[in-house]
Amino acid sequence: MQFELTATDAGTSARTGRLALRSGTVETPVFMPVGSRAAVRGLTPDQLREAGARMILANTYHLGLRPGAEVVAECGGLHSFMGWNGPILTDSGGYQVFSLAAHRVMTEDGVHFRSPVDGAEIFLGPREAMRIQNLLGADVVMVFDHCAPYPCSHDHARDALERTFRWSALCKEVHDRDDQALFGIVQGSTYDDLRERSARGTTEIDFDGYAIGGVSVGEEEESRHRAVRVTMPFLPAYRPRYLMGVGFPIDVLRAIAEGVDMFDCVAPTRMGRNATAFTPQGRLRLRNSAMSRDGRPVADGCGCACCRLYSRAYLHHLFRVGEMLGPILLSIHNLSFYADLMAGARQAVSTGTFARFRDDFIARYRGGKDGE
């Protein structure tokens, strides 16, 4: 992996960069669509690329469960298996330590999960997470971490970050593919002192990049933003910075202003499957009866396949009758919206106008007739 800063914004900490990986080069800031099970739901790789996606995310826990990392490796690795020739990042399964808390038992060595497929027990620890990710063959892999819930006590958050230190060091020790970049993860919940402690300790281990984890787990918007703002000064400027699981437009722009380079979130495709489109004027709900005779595209000026060819009225019809084309088209639009947002952010940084770009977007997004 090589990471080169290409521009900085004088009024904020926003920056642009070029992230060169084994499977290609991406311009940052970059948004990664989520394909946990080796597929971004409903979309082909060609549709993803046409919508502007350049790097995607898959999940260690889900792919280790089905079809199994060995199967993916036998099929030529994750890129060949899913027909995607661009960069891929695999999460380690650490998020499932949080999201599947009711179905797991944690030990110092790792986590015992109860399979939702057949009830069998699955064990995932630092060694197992790295073995699976090495077999999957993604361009960027993540350490196995302990993502604490929100809210949690200071003691609980401290224990989680200390465990993450130990697991991170072991991940680096056993990671054995030189063609994969390994990122560390900062924890600390909403506690400023723990965020600093985690950032300092994680950078001491020395990873190829650094992620801010433990956010988007139920905390308020300002708490989430504060966790980013407190953490960023302790992450090296010459390494890529990744904010995990955060992806609503305003959150993304505020994080870019703090110097974040990479994002992922299920929001664009999940909202698309649920008849909601992102537009510069806010969210647009296509199931609303007002859409039934609206001949306009989802967003004026959008060049995506959905907006070029179809009306709001047609999309309303598709969702009303349960046609699968509706979720597909809105997912394409939403991913195109995010790709355009990232391109606009990069352009604003390059001209030193990011603060104005951010503020204008937020005002329009919150104040538009479709906004929330």
Which tens digit of pLDDT belongs to each residue from 308-329?
Answer: 999 999 999 999 999 999 999 9
Beta bridge partners of 209: 183
**What's the pLDDT score for residue 370?**
54
Query: 83 and 69 in contact (C-beta within 8 Å)?
Result: no
The pLDDT of residue 79 is above 60: yes
Confidence of residue 20 (pLDDT cuts 50, 70, 90): very high
Q: What burial letters (b/e) apply to 168-178, b meaning 16+ CB within 10 Å? A: bbbbbeebeee
Contact at 8 Å (CB) between 331 and 273? yes
Please state, rounded to an integer, the average pLDDT across all residues of the chain. 96
Residues with catalytic annotation? 91, 264
Which residues are 5's β-sheet partners? 17
Which tens digit of pLDDT belongs to each residue from 207-235?
Answer: 999 999 999 999 999 999 999 999 999 99
Comma-separated ranges of CATH 3.20.20.105 domains in the chain: 2-265
Higher pLDDT, 200 or 370: 200
Number of H helices, E strands in the chain: 15, 16
- Torsion angle, alpha carbons of 337, 341, 342, 348, to 10: 160
User: Per-residue confidence at 249, pLDDT binned at 50, 70, 90?
Assistant: very high
The predicted structure's pLDDT at residue 371: 42
Residue 76 pLDDT > 50, yes or no?
yes
Query: Which H/E stretch holds residue 357?
Result: helix 354-367
For residue 14, give every residue at least 6 positions away whose Cβ sits within 8 Å of its Cβ, in sequence order, or none. Answer: 8, 29, 256, 257, 258, 259, 345, 348, 349, 354
**Cβ–Cβ under 8 Å, residues 230 and 211:** no
Average pLDDT over residues 46-74: 97
Mean pLDDT along residues 58-86: 97
pLDDT value at residue 372: 38
pTM of the complete model? 0.97
* pLDDT range class, residue 97, cuts 50, 70, 90: confident
Residue 9 phi, psi (nearest 5): -100, 130
Is domain 2-265 given the CATH code 3.60.21.10 in the classification?
A: no
What integer pLDDT is reported at residue 369 of this predicted model? 58
Confidence of residue 122 (pLDDT cuts 50, 70, 90): confident
**Is residue 116 pLDDT above 90, yes or no?**
no
